[in-house]
């Protein structure tokens, strides 16, 4: 009888319900010995796998071994897998298939199949593979937020309505997210991780209460609460940051979705139903749907489309090593209020939302010329929702512009004025967002101009960078700013 082997990010019912035979889950210590993952990420993954095993009961064999190969040696007969979510895992399965019968089924957990995306990409010829074009194609094909042949509300994209700065009273007025309650499985996971640490396995970040859903039932409760209480505020403030509210109105479904606990088709359908029933405005629903069936799917498909070598792209020649204080999530090391707060939240929770990732963490790394491969690996290890397919295109292409513009049309970095506009950080910071030189110069403002100066020739052909590069000519103190940032190097501001 064929055994279906489920990886640790293939845990929802839609990965197993069509299989009548035995199931296999493998908990491999080697995964955690190879990389220094966030402690709460390790806890979440193990908790989710063990909870799934408990749900499946006698249907599943749950093996705890040093390596996957050790576990599979104990499984007799043919094995079936759903396409894994990383190049490394695919290569491993291909190696195994040379030794024993293994059937590989198409990937699941995404709205657009890989062959559908490749047909769409091939049909574009020499045109850029723009996320917006892919998103519109998917909405037409799947009939999401459509009124006949036209987009609901007469617009494909409400992004301009969803860029509000935070309220001046520094609160959104939304209730906290729904939080899961830990159980005996979580207690055992915590004991096991303590033992692993004594045995030499290293983690980053702090242990803490499990914040993210580890079962399909919990993930459903998180989604229910978000749709009912938080989705309306998500839209306008999805790009805003508040020091007083790290969760804002974000859904917190990325981690359970990337574990395979939620089917994105259901997530999208339920969000659309909230709008059609009159419960939430269209702009907020469209903004959320764009994240799930637009950006998330786009990242998945570009991961495979660009190929495994894409992770090594380094168009800006960034070679500096990631410094220890950043690698260790040491928010106390820096006096820059935004960077300190974001690193501290990441240390404590294994999560911050997409704007701190892009415009605080990623922007800082880009300005300092840190090796994009190291930055990508750091994001993968440090975030509870981070996987190889999630982070390679997001970081190499979007955050670090290391692909030279294959994904994004310009580098996503800015002076401190952006953070000042979109957050409450700058008012209480010793650094001033309008200053680029001196002891109170904002490291993002100084870093931005130094970055442009360093990459002037590389970015000269980018039409969207023409105006910023022309701004360099107006800076009488540019040489001093560049020298100041060179002295700073990778030291914390």
pLDDT tens-digit series, residues 233-280: 999 999 999 999 999 999 999 999 999 999 999 999 999 999 999 999
Q: Which residues contact 20 (CB under 8 A, 6 or more apart)?
A: none
Q: Using a cut of 0.95, tell me whether the model's pTM lies above it.
A: yes
Same domain? 435 vs 294 = no
- Confidence (pLDDT) at 127: 80
Q: 193 in a domain, yes or no?
A: no
Last residue of a domain, one of 306, 323, 358: 306
Interval 147-201: pLDDT, tens: 999 999 999 999 888 899 999 887 898 999 999 999 999 999 999 999 999 999 9
Same domain? 65 vs 30 = yes
Q: Is the pLDDT of residue 105 over 80?
A: yes
Domain holding 138: CATH number?
A: 1.25.40.80
Same domain? 442 vs 385 = yes
User: Confidence class of residue 309 from pLDDT cuts 50, 70 and 90?
Assistant: very high
Which residues constitute the domain of residue 418? 311-488
Average of pLDDT values for 80-99?
Answer: 96
Task: Identify which of 385, 82, 395, 346 has the alpha carbon closest to the alpha carbon of residue 259.
Answer: 385
Q: Give the number of other CB atoms < 10 A from CB of residue 69.
A: 15
- Confidence (pLDDT) at 125: 82
Last residue of a domain, one of 52, 86, 105: 105
Q: Is the pLDDT of residue 344 over 90?
A: yes
Q: Give the number of other CB atoms < 10 A from CB of residue 127.
A: 9
Q: 186 in a domain, yes or no?
A: no
Q: What percentage of the chain exceeds 90 in pLDDT? A: 96
Domain holding 362: CATH number?
A: 1.10.579.10
d(CA 423, CA 446): 19
Q: 210 in a domain, yes or no?
A: no
Q: Is the pLDDT of residue 410 over 80?
A: yes
Same domain? 370 vs 248 = no
Same domain? 262 vs 343 = no
Q: What percentage of the chain exceeds 70 in pLDDT? A: 100
Q: 236 in a domain, yes or no?
A: yes
Among the ranges given (101-110, 125-134, 347-356, 393-402), the one the predictor scored with the smallest mean pLDDT: 125-134
Same domain? 391 vs 263 = no
- Confidence (pLDDT) at 342: 98
Say what angle helices 131-142 and 297-306 make with each other, to 10 degrees. Answer: 120
Interval 38-84: pLDDT, tens: 999 999 999 999 999 999 999 999 999 999 999 999 999 999 999 99
Same domain? 339 vs 387 = yes
Last residue of a domain, one of 249, 274, 306: 306
d(CA 148, CA 143): 8
Based on the structure, what is the number of domains in the chain? Answer: 3
Same domain? 286 vs 416 = no
Q: Tell me the average pLDDT of the chain.
A: 96
Same domain? 355 vs 400 = yes
Q: 215 in a domain, yes or no?
A: no
Same domain? 280 vs 371 = no
- Confidence (pLDDT) at 168: 84
Same domain? 58 vs 36 = yes
Q: 205 in a domain, yes or no?
A: no
Q: 211 in a domain, yes or no?
A: no
Same domain? 252 vs 333 = no
Domain holding 78: CATH number?
A: 3.40.50.620
């Amino acid at each position: 009888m064929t055994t279906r082997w489920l990886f640790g990010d293939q845990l929802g019912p839609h990965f197993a319900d069509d299989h009548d035979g035995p199931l296999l889950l493998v908990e491999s210590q080697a995964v955690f010995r190879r990389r220094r993952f966030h402690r709460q990420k390790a806890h979440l993954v193990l908790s989710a796998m063990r909870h799934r095993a408990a749900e499946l009961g006698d249907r599943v064999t749950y093996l705890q071994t040093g390596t996957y190969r050790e576990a599979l040696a104990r499984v007799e007969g043919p094995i079936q897998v759903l396409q894994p979510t990383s190049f490394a895992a695919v290569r491993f399965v291909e190696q195994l298939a040379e030794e024993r019968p293994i059937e590989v089924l198409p990937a699941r957990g995404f709205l657009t199949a890989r062959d559908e995306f490749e047909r769409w990409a091939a049909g574009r010829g020499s045109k850029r593979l723009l996320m917006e074009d892919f998103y519109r194609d998917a909405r037409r094909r799947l009939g999401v937020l459509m009124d006949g042949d036209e987009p609901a509300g007469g617009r494909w994209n409400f992004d301009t309505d969803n860029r509000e700065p935070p309220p001046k009273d520094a609160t959104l007025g939304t209730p906290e997210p729904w939080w899961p309650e830990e159980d005996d499985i979580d207690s055992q996971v915590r004991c096991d991780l303590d033992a692993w640490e004594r045995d030499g396995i290293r983690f980053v970040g702090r242990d803490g209460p499990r914040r993210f859903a580890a079962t399909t039932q919990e993930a459903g409760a998180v989604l229910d609460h978000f749709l009912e209480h938080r989705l309306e505020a998500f839209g306008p403030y999805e790009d805003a940051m508040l020091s007083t509210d790290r969760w804002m109105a974000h859904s917190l479904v990325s981690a359970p979705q990337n574990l395979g606990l939620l089917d994105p088709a259901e997530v999208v359908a339920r969000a659309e139903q909230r709008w059609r029933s009159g419960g939430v405005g269209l702009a907020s629903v469209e903004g959320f749907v764009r994240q799930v069936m637009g950006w998330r799917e786009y990242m998945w498909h570009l991961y495979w489309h660009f190929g495994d070598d894409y992770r090594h792209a380094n168009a800006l020649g960034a070679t500096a090593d990631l410094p220890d204080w950043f690698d260790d999530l040491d928010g106390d090391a820096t006096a820059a209020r935004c960077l300190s707060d974001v690193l501290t939240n990441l240390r404590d929770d294994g999560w911050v939302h997409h704007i701190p990732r892009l415009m605080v963490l990623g922007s800082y790394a880009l300005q300092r010329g840190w090796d994009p491969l190291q930055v990508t690996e750091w994001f993968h290890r440090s975030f509870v929702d981070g996987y190889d397919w999630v982070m390679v295109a997001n970081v190499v292409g979007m955050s670090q512009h290391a692909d030279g513009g294959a994904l994004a049309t310009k580098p996503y970095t800015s002076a401190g004025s952006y953070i000042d506009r979109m957050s409450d950080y700058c008012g209480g910071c010793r650094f001033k967002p309008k200053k680029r030189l001196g002891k109170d110069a904002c490291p993002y403002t100084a870093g931005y101009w130094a970055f442009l100066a360093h990459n002037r020739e590389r970015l000269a052909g980018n039409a969207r960078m023409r105006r910023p590069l022309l701004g360099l000519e107006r800076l009488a103190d540019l040489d001093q700013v560049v020298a100041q940032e060179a002295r700073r190097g990778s030291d914390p501001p």
